[in-house]
């Protein structure tokens, strides 16, 4: 229960970072924090049933961790990482003309 | 059929990479992919003649990927295929590089994948691939503006998808399965998170107000694909869930009505052609969602019209309606624009009429008034396009060589699609849309043409768009919570 609260705190800290931080890089990092929270939640739920790595061994009768959420979140980690990479590249490109990378300035310059 | 489906789903991704290896024949390969998808959609229509036929596919083991193909998917697939093919025709002589075609085809493939997914995780993967491909297409000109518009899109959709992932794991926790059917009996917060993610991604209601800027500032062929096919990738799962789980149905219908009215309210006051079209997309998605049973046909007719009009809007001499009043547009182009506008207004002879009749027959009582208002609003929006002056223009605008091929395909499709619901042609059905259009045109000339109100755009700002997600999340949570614990 306490762990769950911490995980949700991470998610919402990340989310409010996206809204409240002015700098584009900080926003991207906040989104990554939020994404970390979501990943942690999957891992936490997978560990509800036990902690043993779900690999078939001789001792079959132990409390395994649920492998499905872990497998699923692996995909999400890779996707999240590639999207963050794309965003950072865009931030690099935008930094040439907007060196402070403040989103409201970038938005003002680029909205018709 | 199972093997064909899997081969067809993988085909665009395979071709996407082949295009990059063989850049000389990029356009031909892209065109081939579009045609293959059209053929597949037709195959589904012929092999599953009844609307209740479903082809369920379970890949790997119990926890593997689940897919489901039925007529509803076939309509959406056909929409995507025709729009992509038309866009490839449009871009034929434009000198775009292999990179553009590669991204367009990968986007086509991922949109296709969303239309046959029936579990939350496959859907998540398809939607994320789609975001990346769409971002690369929006940012294709590499100007600061296009990069910012793309980045903003990627940011909003990725944040929404994180909420969606949270919802997906809550569904898994309740049922030990990610299947769409798991929404039944899932905790209220699961539904709230998932619906929020899909609403934002699909550009629906206030959470969809990121859409006008993205769709209007992209290049015309990209806007055509985004508005014609891509937004439907998030609407489709909502519709599918509404059909599978009756508890979701009222929520989807409610947001359908909300977005239909909100979209027209913005669009009637808009003075810019592409922004008008983008707001109209927000409103038309409402018509798709308002009657989930017949969503497929409406999505098809909307996709054809919207991509045609976006391609035409990109070839007009100006984007401002005021300036267009003094610059007559080419008569041939005006005819294409008028046919498309008539279809979306619901004029008989075009398939938009059948779609409107079919949707209005499947509305619930509480939806009728609002949807009629939205229908009049739609006709007002497109009256702005119909009554543009036309004639021999002094300055010849260079039209892309493939432009007319794209128009033939899209507008021909509007005529051919009439066969789907030819029973609509009864006297009673014909009078109502004509009356709607008449009221709308009177309103256009008496009121809206003379008004010049600029609605504030503050809500479209990036920070506000993210912030609105919290408000929407609270709203959805209370709706769900109330439904679960009060009833």
**DSSP secondary structure of B414-426:** HHHGGGGGGGG--
Q: At what angle do helices B71-90 and B98-116 cross, to 10 degrees?
A: 170
Contact B199, B251 (CB under 8 A): no
pLDDT tens per residue across span A79-91: 999 999 999 999 9
Cα separation, B424 vs B471, in Å, equals: 41
Instruction: Determine, yes or no, domain membership for B331.
Output: yes
Q: What is the pLDDT of residue B252?
A: 92
Backbone angles phi, psi at B179, to 5 degrees: -60, 150
**B contacts of A72 (beta carbons < 8 Å):** 121, 178
Please list, in sequence order, all residues whose beta carbon lies within 8 angstroms of the beta carbon of residue B159, skipping any fewer than 6 positions away: A15, A18, A31, A34, B200, B466, B469
| Number of separate domains in chain B | 1
May I ask the CATH architecture of the domain A2-101?
Orthogonal Bundle (1.10)
Instruction: Determine, yes or no, domain membership for B17.
Output: no
Per-residue buried b or exposed e for B429-453, using 16+ beta carbons within 10 Å of the residue's own CB:
bbeebeebbeebbebbeeebeeeee
Residue A68: closest C-alpha in chain B: B63
Q: Is B90 on the interface with A (CB under 8 A)?
A: no
Q: Is B436 on the interface with A (CB under 8 A)?
A: no
Q: Is B403 on the interface with A (CB under 8 A)?
A: no
Q: Is A108 on the interface with B (CB under 8 A)?
A: no
B376 pLDDT more than 80: yes
CA-nearest of A35, A41, A42 to A84 is A35
Considering only the beta carbons, identify the residue of B142, B159, B166 that sits closest to A18.
B159
Instruction: Determine, yes or no, domain membership for B203.
Output: yes
Cα separation, B260 vs B378, in Å, equals: 9
Specify the higher pLDDT residue, B392 or B297: B297
B15 pLDDT more than 90: yes
Q: What is the pLDDT of residue B394?
A: 59
Cα separation, B331 vs B215, in Å, equals: 26
Say which range, B55-59, B396-400, B430-434, has the weakest mean pLDDT. B396-400
What are B398's strand-pairing partners?
A: none
Considering only the beta carbons, identify the residue of A38, A90, A97 that sits closest to B162.
A38
Q: What is the pLDDT of residue B393?
A: 63
Say which range, A37-46, A61-70, B35-44, has the weakest mean pLDDT. A61-70
Instruction: Determine, yes or no, domain membership for B398.
Output: yes
Q: Is B364 on the interface with A (CB under 8 A)?
A: no
Q: Kindly report the nearest CA distance between residue B464 and chain A, in angstroms.
A: 8
Q: Is A15 on the interface with B (CB under 8 A)?
A: yes
Q: Which domain holds residue B384?
A: 141-486
CA-nearest of A32, A40, A5 to A87 is A32
**B contacts of A107 (beta carbons < 8 Å):** 148, 461-462
Instruction: Determine, yes or no, domain membership for B370.
Output: yes
Q: What is the pLDDT of residue B429?
A: 85
Give percent above pLDDT 70 in chain B: 98
Q: What is the pLDDT of residue B401?
A: 79
Signed CA dihedral, B60, B63, B64, B66: sign only: positive
ipTM: 0.95
Verify whether the Cβ–Cβ distance B159 to A110 is below 8 Å: no
Contact A50, A65 (CB under 8 A): yes
DSSP B269-294: H--BHHHHHHHHHHHHHHHHHHSGGG
Cα separation, B343 vs B386, in Å, equals: 12
Q: For chain A, which residues make up each domain, given as ranges?
A: 2-101
Task: Compute the average pLDDT of residues B218-247.
Answer: 92
**B21's tokens:** 């290896």
Q: Is A42 on the interface with B (CB under 8 A)?
A: yes
Residue B157: closest C-alpha in chain A: A83
């Amino acid at each position: 229960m306490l762990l769950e609260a911490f995980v949700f705190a991470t998610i919402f800290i990340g989310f409010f970072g996206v809204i409240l931080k002015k700098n584009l890089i900080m926003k991207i990092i906040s989104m990554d924090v939020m994404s970390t929270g979501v990943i942690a939640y999957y891992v936490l739920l997978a560990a509800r049933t036990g902690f043993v790595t779900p690999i078939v061994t001789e001792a079959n009768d132990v409390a395994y961790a649920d492998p499905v959420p872990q497998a699923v979140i692996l995909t999400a980690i890779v996707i999240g990482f590639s999207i963050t990479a794309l965003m950072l590249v865009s931030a690099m490109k935008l930094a040439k003309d907007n060196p402070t990378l403040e989103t409201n300035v970038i938005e003002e310059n680029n909205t018709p | 059929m199972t093997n064909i489906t899997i081969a067809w789903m993988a085909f665009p991704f395979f071709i996407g990479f082949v295009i990059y290896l063989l850049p000389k024949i990029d356009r031909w390969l892209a065109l081939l992919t579009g045609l293959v998808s059209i053929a597949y959609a037709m195959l589904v229509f012929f092999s599953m003649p009844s609307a209740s036929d479903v082809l369920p596919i379970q890949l790997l083991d119990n926890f593997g990927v689940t897919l489901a193909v039925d007529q509803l998917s076939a309509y959406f697939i056909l929409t995507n295929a025709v729009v992509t093919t038309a866009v490839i025709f449009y871009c034929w002589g434009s000198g775009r590089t292999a990179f553009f075609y590669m991204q367009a085809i990968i986007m086509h493939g991922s949109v296709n994948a969303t239309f046959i997914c029936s579990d939350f995780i496959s859907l998540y993967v398809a939607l994320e691939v789609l975001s990346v491909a769409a971002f690369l297409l929006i940012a294709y000109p590499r100007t600061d503006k296009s990069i910012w518009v793309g980045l903003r899109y990627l940011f909003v959709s990725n944040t929404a998808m994180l909420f969606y992932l949270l919802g997906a794991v809550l569904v898994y926790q309740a049922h030990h399965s990610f299947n769409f059917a798991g929404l039944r009996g899932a905790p209220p917060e699961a539904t709230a998170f998932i619906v929020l993610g899909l609403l934002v991604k699909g550009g629906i209601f206030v959470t969809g107000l990121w859409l006008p800027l993205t769709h209007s500032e992209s290049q015309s062929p990209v806007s055509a694909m985004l508005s014609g096919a891509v937004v439907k990738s998030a609407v489709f799962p909502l519709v599918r869930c509404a059909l599978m789980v009756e508890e979701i149905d009222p929520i989807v219908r409610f947001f359908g009505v909300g977005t239909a009215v909100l979209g027209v309210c913005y669009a009637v006051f808009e003075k810019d052609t592409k922004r008008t079209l983008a707001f109209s997309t927000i409103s038309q998605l409402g018509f798709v969602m308002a009657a989930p049973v017949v969503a497929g046909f409406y999505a098809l007719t909307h996709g054809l019209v919207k991509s045609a009009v976006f391609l035409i809007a990109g070839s007009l001499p100006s984007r401002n309606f005021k300036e267009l009043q003094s610059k007559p547009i080419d008569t041939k182009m005006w005819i294409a624009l008028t046919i498309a506008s008539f279809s979306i207004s619901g004029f008989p002879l075009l398939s938009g009429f059948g779609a409107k009749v079919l949707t209005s027959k499947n509305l619930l009582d509480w939806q009728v008034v609002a949807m009629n208002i939205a229908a009049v609003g739609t006709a007002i929006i497109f009256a702005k396009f119909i009554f543009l002056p036309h004639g021999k223009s002094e300055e010849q605008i260079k039209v892309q060589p493939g432009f007319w091929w794209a128009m033939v395909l899209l507008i021909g499709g509007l005529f051919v699609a009439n066969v789907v619901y030819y029973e609509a042609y009864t006297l009673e059905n014909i009078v109502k849309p004509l009356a709607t259009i008449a009221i709308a045109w009177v309103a256009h000339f008496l009121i809206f043409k003379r008004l010049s109100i600029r609605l504030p755009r503050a809500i479209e700002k990036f920070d506000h768009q993210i912030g609105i997600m919290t408000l929407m999340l609270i709203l959805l949570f209370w709706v769900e919570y109330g439904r679960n614990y009060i009833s």
